[in-house]
Structures are given as structure tokens and as C-alpha cells.
Amino acid sequence: MERLEPIIATVTGRTPALQRAAAERALKAGAGCVEFRIDTLSPSESPESLLDLAGRRAVIFAGSRRRTIARELEFFRTAQERGAWVDVPYSPGARNRETGLSPRRLILSWHDFERTPDLTGVLREMRRVHAACYKLVPTARDFDDVLSVKRLLLSKGEGGRLCAFAMGTPGVPSRVLALAWGSAAIYASAPGCAAGAPGQMPLEELLSHRPGDLRPDEPLYGLVGWPLPFSMTPFFFNEWLQKRGLPGRYLRIPVKRLEAFRVLAQEIPLQGLAVTLPHKQAILSYLTGASRLVRKAEACNTVLMEGEAFYGVNTDVFGIRRALHSLPKVGLRTLVLGAGGAASAALLALHRRGHCAVAARRPEQARALADRFGSVAIPLRSHLNWDWDLLVNATPVGAGGEGSPVEAGELSGKWVFDMVVRRERTPLAAAAARRGLGVIEGLDMLRAQARLQFKLWTRRNPPRPD
């Protein structure tokens, strides 16, 4: 039986021309194979023109995930004759002779869009049909389900004939770790294409983890939060590890329930953990020790792991201080929006530099935070009447690229520090720049605090910035 290429880019698009262009971008970026999702083509479009790539490139043609459609089946037979792989959904009781497909380049796939059942039992039934590769893709509801995929691959993944990972937001880590656990392949969305399934990450992000070189026993560093749709940290952290010649990877670990935290630490070789919204305060109850800054901020964003001992550190304060190093050290009037762990770190870094005010959706939470640092709490809409030099957005508003906690016309100070991290500027930062205010972006803070995390976890300095 032939084997799949391990890195597969899923191509979606309404026309064959769009899919062909996306496939070329994916192969140029580093994918070993592309999967054409012909079910995303417009009903009036035919996939026939894509067949000329079969035999010249490693390609897979896939259609409906839920059932085999007659018109797709006819096309798949032709695609196999041209040298392409095809992916068809498993149907209980089906046999190869009923489809007319050769097992040689056949991926028999099974998807559960709701849960993670007994995967071993599903695989046992699927193997009644001959195929070159069996693909099992359940939906993870939390990290426990990711561990079910791991156990399946470690017990049944030998021989390169099993492909498994989990869909859904909690399934994201499985897409990085599946190859190390024994999966025949892993999928990512081709450049410019929408995700082919819930939780599928862009090809650029997947390749930044170098999943094909990852060993099962390598140390892992993770960012825990929810829903954690994206983070820049894995990109530069993995680059630092590679440049320093150190083993390990840094990955996103979306965790809804912190009860999964200890299970997670026991089941995968975690060496360090970064913590973000909404867990920076809840994580405190899981720590066996904490730094002075964690105790003062009552928030933790970094966990050092020594066996079963979890020691909490707060590097956010350091990152904020570095990001704001050029601002006045005294006489600074600051307005902090938000009252969670990020706001607490901001007040800890700024309260000695001048007067601070806190405004948040929950007035009682804002008052409690302000009292801890000798600041004042003001009603959320009263910030219009508060004369500030520096506005700090310590809320998640703007993370998705939509919305701003402050209207452009309300920006009357000198500087805006948006702690939200995005590749592009947030709406708040963009509005502040247009009005001529100084802008400090969340990425400035993130990179500084991540450099300190790297040193704490690896006992090595990260490479100097280029």
C-alpha cells in the first residue's frame, strides 16, 4: 500500500481556478500534498479540470464527509485512474466492490461532529473495508477527548495506515501532536482558504511547529486559555527553540475546564505553561507555590513545572513595564478598562507612576481591584469625564478585529496601550493612531513577557531580536 504525505493542505473554494491557485500556494509554502474539497465547489462547477494535477502532484480528492454521493463516486473512480488519492466516508456494512474504488489510494474516513466515542471500536468496524488509510476524526469537547486520540494512535498507529486527530476548538493540540503520536498525516487549511473543519489551523501556523520532526518524548510548552482562537506566541517561541538548538514545541491548548489541567500535565510532557483569559486567576488554586508578583496581582500567567509541583510566576508585569518604558515614570494619569488578571497586572506595573482609575462592566469587581492598589473605580461610561494621559485596554474587546471599548471620538489623551494581541492593529489602536495619539500594541508586551518565559522555562536566553 502507498503512504500519504504527512502534511496535507485542505483546499476549499467555489471554482476550480480558486482551488488550483490555493493548491499552488500551499505546495510552495511547504505542504507535501493537497486535498481538494470538491463539495465546496459551486453546483454549476465541475472538478474535471483539476484532474490534470493527479499524477504530477500528490493530491487527494474529497467530497461530502457524511455520505458518499453518486456523482462524487464516479469522479473518484476517474481520479484514482489518473493517480490521485480519494477520500470517501465510511458507511457501516459497505464493501469495496460496491464503490468500484481500489484500496490502493483510498482513504476511508469517519467523522463525528458532536463527540468522541470509543475510537477503537470504530476503527475495528472500519477495517472490514480494505483501504490504504483509515482516517478517524472525532470532535473534542475538552482536552480529555484529545487524550483519547493519543491513546488510539499510540496503540493502533503503527504501519502508517491510521490518520487521527480531533475537530473542535479543544482538538487544536491534536493537530500539532498527531504525527508524533503515530498518525499517517495531519491536515491544515491552505493559504487563503477557510478552515475545512472546525478547529483546523492555517498551514502557516501548523508548519511553524515543525510537526514532522517532533518526537513523542520532546518537551512541550503550552498556552492555556479559552477559546484561544489564535496566538502569535507559538510563531516566535518555536523559532527561538529552533535557533537555540533546543528540543520541544510551544502550542495552543484551548482548555475550557481547568479540571483538565492536571490530567493534561500528566499525559503530555509539559515543561512550562502560559495562562491567558479566562484562567489567570482561576489557575491560582492549582499552584503549589507562587511568586511575590503573583500574590500581589492575584493573577498568574506563567507556570513552572517540576514534577507534580506547579509554581506560578507573573511575567505580564515585566512585559507591560518593557512595553511602556518610554512613557513618563511619574505624574502619569492612567485609565484602565477591565478588572481581570490583565488589568491587575497593568495596575501593578503603573500605580506608582501616577494616578490610576479603573472602569469595568462589573462595578464591584472594579472597586475591589482599585482598592488593592490605592486607585479609584469609576462607572464604565464615566471615563468620558476622566482626564487621562494613558488609556489601557485590559479587556478582550477587539481581539476578533471587530469593536472597540472606546469610540474614536472619546480618545482625548496622549497614549493608548491595547493589551489585545493581533497580527493587525486592533480597531482601538487604529483609531488612536488616526487621531495622532501614541500607540503601544499588545504585541510589544507579549514579546517581552514571552522572552522572560523562555528564560524561565529553558534556562537559556532567547536569541536577540534581528
- CA nearest neighbour of 277 among 236, 323, 222, 223: 223
Beta strands across the sheet bearing 376-377: 376-377, 356-359, 334-337, 390-393, 415-418, 438-441
Residues 6+ apart with CB under 8 A from 409: none
Residues 6+ apart with CB under 8 A from 53: 20, 23, 59, 84
The answer to whether the peptide bond before residue 227 is cis (omega within 30 degrees of 0) is: yes
- Adjacent-strand bridge partners of 439: 416
Would residue 135 be called left, alpha or beta, if left means φ above 0 and alpha means ψ between -120 and 50 degrees? Answer: beta
Q: Is residue 242 within 8 Å of residue 271, measured between CB atoms? A: no
Residue 365's H or E segment, with its range, is helix 363-372
Please state, in angstroms and rounded to a whole number, the distance separating the CA atoms of residues 398 and 52.
Answer: 44
The answer to whether the peptide bond before residue 278 is cis (omega within 30 degrees of 0) is: yes
Please state, in angstroms and rounded to a whole number, the distance separating the CA atoms of residues 232 and 205.
Answer: 9
Q: Is residue 351 within 8 Å of residue 336, measured between CB atoms? A: no
∠ CA 55-196-222 to the nearest 5 degrees? 110
What does the block give as the cell for 361?
Answer: 462592566
280 is annotated as an active-site residue: yes
The upper half-sphere exposure of residue 274, i.e. CA atoms within 13 Å in the direction of its Cβ, equals 27
Q: Which of 280, 296, 414, 455 is catalytic?
A: 280
Phi first, then psi: what are they for 111, rounded to 5°? Answer: -125, 135
Q: 318-352 burial string, b = 16+ CB within 10 Å, else e?
A: bbbbbbbeebeeeebbbbbbbbbbbbbbbbbbbbe
Q: Specify the pairing of strand 186-189 against strand 162-164.
A: unpaired
- CA nearest neighbour of 184 among 117, 101, 105: 105
Residues 6+ apart with CB under 8 A from 124: none
Q: Is residue 391 within 8 Å of residue 412, measured between CB atoms? A: no
Known catalytic residues are 280
